[in-house]
């Protein structure tokens, strides 16, 4: 990674233990990495994180921004295919983790928080077994297809 695009204090850049405690890598995409969030209060909750460090979306060039948006769209389309939610919520925060990343949260009209923003850090996150995480990831990977993957 280009040292100018790396932040030693950022767990997305360093791939440290904090990253692995919070999420599991699903698959590298074009300019980002697709992760399953370990909190599965919303089944399929995922994150798409840019592969280099910027704090803000506007810090990307037009090409980089389009590529990142394409990765987010492909990930969201995959979650829609796998989980059939009524809506996918997209969230970009960054108060405590400034590395550009997007939360993808499948939501259903029957959810306790339908018509409201999802809680990013619930007091009682829903954790799964490693086996269940791997099953979710396999289902997502099986449905994540870019056009060039078909060639």
Supply the pTM of this predicted model. Answer: 0.92
Asked, for residue 13, whether it belongs to a domain, the answer is yes
Q: How far apart are the first and last CA of the chain?
A: 28
Asked, for residue 86, whether it belongs to a domain, the answer is yes
According to the model, what pLDDT value does residue 105 have? 98
Residue numbers of the domain that contains 41: 3-113+124-150
Asked, for residue 56, whether it belongs to a domain, the answer is yes
According to the model, what pLDDT value does residue 150 have? 46
Cα 55 to Cα 93: distance, rounded to the nearest angstrom: 10
Residue 139 CB coordination number (10 Å):
15
Asked, for residue 119, whether it belongs to a domain, the answer is no
Give the ranges where 4-117 is alpha helix by DSSP (H).
Answer: 11-14, 17-22, 62-83
Q: In a structure prediction context, what are the per-residue pLDDT tens digits for the chain, which is 151 residues long?
A: 455 677 878 999 999 999 999 999 999 999 999 999 999 999 999 999 999 999 999 999 999 999 999 999 999 999 999 999 999 999 999 888 899 999 999 999 999 899 998 888 899 999 999 999 999 999 999 999 876 654 4
Asked, for residue 38, whether it belongs to a domain, the answer is yes
Tell which residue, 6, 3, 36, has the closest CA to residue 19. 36
Asked, for residue 118, whether it belongs to a domain, the answer is no
Q: What is the domain-level CATH number for residue 17?
A: 3.30.428.10
Cα 99 to Cα 47: distance, rounded to the nearest angstrom: 12
Asked, for residue 102, whether it belongs to a domain, the answer is yes
Q: Give the chain's domain count.
A: 1
According to the model, what pLDDT value does residue 7 have? 84
Residue 101 CB coordination number (10 Å):
21
């Amino acid at each position: 990674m280009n040292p100018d695009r790396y932040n030693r204090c950022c767990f997305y850049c360093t791939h440290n233990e904090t990253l692995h405690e919070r999420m599991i890598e699903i698959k590298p995409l074009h300019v980002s990495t697709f992760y399953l969030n370990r909190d599965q209060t919303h089944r399929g909750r995922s994150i798409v994180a840019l592969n280099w460090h910027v704090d803000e979306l506007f810090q990307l060039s037009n090409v980089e921004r389009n590529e990142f948006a394409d990765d987010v769209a492909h990930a969201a389309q995959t979650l829609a295919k796998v989980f059939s939610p009524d809506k996918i919520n997209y969230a970009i925060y960054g108060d405590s983790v400034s590395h550009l990343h997007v939360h993808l949260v499948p939501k259903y009209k029957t959810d306790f928080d339908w018509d409201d923003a999802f809680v990013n850090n619930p007091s009682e996150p829903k954790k799964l077994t490693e086996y269940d995480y791997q099953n979710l990831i396999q289902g997502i990977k099986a449905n994540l297809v870019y056009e060039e993957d078909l060639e």
